[in-house]
Amino acid sequence: MLFNTLPFAYFFITVFAVSWLLSRFRMLRLLFLLAASYFFYAQWNPYYLSLIFISSTVDYWLGKKIAASDDPAARKRWLVGTVVVNLGFLGFFKYWNFGVGSVLAAAQLLGWHLQPAYVRVALPIGISFFTFESMSYVIDVYRRTTKPCDSYLKYLLFVAFFPHLVSGPIVRPRDLIPQFEAPPRFDEVEASRAMFLIANGLIKKVVISDYLSVNFVDRVFAQPSSYSALEVLFAIYGYAVQIYCDFSGYTDIAIGCAALLGVKFPINFNSPYKAVNVQDFWNRWHISLSTWLRDYLFHSLGGAFGSTARTVRNFLITMLLGGLWHGAAWTFVFWGLLHGVALAATFVYFSWQEQRGVRRRKRKIPFWRKAVGVFLTFHFVCLGWVFFRAESFTMAWAVLRRLATFTTYHPNLQLWVVVTLGVGLVSHYTPDKLFQSVRESFVRLPAVLQGASLFGVACLLYYAASAQSVPFVYFQF
C-alpha cells in the first residue's frame, strides 16, 4: 500500500476518522492504531508481521531487564541479546545471499569451488528502519538516557506506527512514546500545515521524481552507451533530483499523516543540496539516519575524541557500514567509502584550520566561497549517486566512461524532462522563508479555498501520474 495511491488514501481517511472518534478512550485508540499499522504492513506480506512483533517483544522485555539490573555484566549480556536478535534478522534477510555471493566470488579467484548456499526469501519491507528504531530503545535504556517504557502496547505501537514504519524517519523512542501517553489534541492550524506538507510531498514524488525516473533517468542508467555525455550528465542530475524528491516526498507525507493523527515527527531533510561541504550535507540529508549513525555507531567507536588517525578510522567504518545499510551490494559499500573519505578529509581540514586559529575568528564567509562550496559538494554527491544508482560497478564505470566522451548531441533530452529537472532544482534552492511564506498563506486561506487548492493538486497528480504507481526508492532498504 503506497502513499501515492488511492487505496492508501481510503485507508488513511478511515484511520483518521476512527482514531479521533476514539480520542477520549486512550487505550482503545492506541489498540486501533496498532491494528491499523499491522494491517498496513500486512498488505505487503502478512507473514513478516511476525518479525516486527518478535523484534518489538524481545526488545521491550530486554529493556526491562537492563533497566532493572545493576550488574554491569548482566546488563551487557542483555544488550548483546538485542543486537544479536535485530542484526540477526537483518543479516539473514538482507545480507545472507550477498555474503554467500561474495564468498563464492572470492573462492573462485583462489581457484576453489564451493557449493552455493543461497536462500530464497523476499526482503521484508522496512526491516532496516524498524530494527534500528527498536535497537535504539534498548541502547538508550542501557545508557540510562531513556527510562524503560511502562506499556507493552505503547512500545509495540512505537515500532509499528505506520507513517514511519517502512521508510522512516527513524524516530527515537524518547520522541514518540511520550506522545502516545498524552491525550491527543486536534489543532486546525497544524492540520492545515499537515495537508500542505502531504500535498507538497505528493507533488515531489509523482510530478517530479516519478516523471524523471520513468521518462529519462532509468533509460540512461540501463544503457548509457546509447546516450551522449551531455544526456548522461543530465541523467545524473536527474537522479539527484529524483532520489531527493522521492525520499523527502515520502518523509513529507509521513510527517503530514502523523501530524493529522496528533503525532509530531522530527524533520528528516533540510535542503541537502544547499550544503557547503560533505559534513554539512549529512547534517541535512536523511537526518534521522545520520544522527543514528553518529550517536550509536560513530560515538561508540570513539567519535572524534582521540588521535586524528582514530577519528578518520571511525568516519570510514561508520560510513562503510552506513553504505552497507542501504543495500546488500558492493556499490553501496563503495558509495559509503566515498562519503567516509570526504567526511574524514573535511574533519582533517577543519582541524588544521583550528590549529591555525582560522575558525576562531568569526568572520562572514564571502558569497562566492559559499557558492563554490555548494557547487563542489553537489557534484561530489552526484558522483556518489552514480554508484548508488548503478546496478553494478560495470554499469557505474560505463556511465562515467560515457560522461568522459564530452559528446554534446542531445536528441533524447525532451523539453518536459528539462523543465521538470529545472523545476526540481530551482524549487530546492528557493529560500526557506519563501516556502514557509507560501505554506502560511495556505494556512490562512478559508477552508473552502484550501479545499479548492488541494483539489487542484489532486487533478495535477492525476494527469501527471504514470500508468503504474512507482514504488519509493527507499522501500528497497
As given in the structure block, the three cell numbers for residue 22 are 476514539
As given in the structure block, the three cell numbers for residue 461 are 497528480
As given in the structure block, the three cell numbers for residue 112 are 576453489
In which region does residue 406 sit, left (phi positive, over 0), alpha (psi from -120 to 50) or beta (all else)? left
> Of 286, 326, 339, 428, which one is the catalytic site residue?
326
Burial class (CB in 10 A: 0-12, 13-18, 19+), 358: exposed
- Helix axes of 26-42 and 6-21: crossing angle, nearest 10 degrees: 170
Positive or negative, the CA dihedral 2, 320, 172, 431 is negative
- Which residues, including other chains, have CB under 8 Å from residue 299's CB and lie 6 or more apart? none
Nearest to residue 311, comparing CAs of 298, 294, 293? 298
Q: Measured in whole angstroms, how far is the alpha carbon of residue 206 from the centre of its chain?
A: 18
Q: Is 326 an active-site residue? A: yes
| Count of Cβ atoms closer than 10 Å to residue 268 Cβ | 25
DSSP string, 27-46: HHHHHHHHHHHHHHHHTT-G
Nearest to residue 134, comparing CAs of 72, 58, 23? 58
Cα three-residue angle 343-164-11, rounded to 5 degrees: 150
Q: Look-up: residue for cell 542501504?
A: 326
> What is the chain's Cα-based Rg?
23
323 neighbors 335 (Cβ within 8 angstroms): yes
For the chain, the distance separating the N- and C-terminal CA atoms, rounded to the nearest angstrom, is 16
Is the bond into 178 cis (omega within 30 degrees of 0)?
A: no
As given in the structure block, the three cell numbers for residue 456 are 487542484
As given in the structure block, the three cell numbers for residue 120 are 530464497
- What is d(CA 177, CA 172) in angstroms, rounded to the nearest whole number? 9
- What is d(CA 391, CA 404) in angstroms, rounded to the nearest whole number? 20
Q: Is 68 helix (H, G, I), strand (E, B) or coil?
A: helix
As given in the structure block, the three cell numbers for residue 332 are 553501496
Enumerate the active-site residues.
Answer: 326
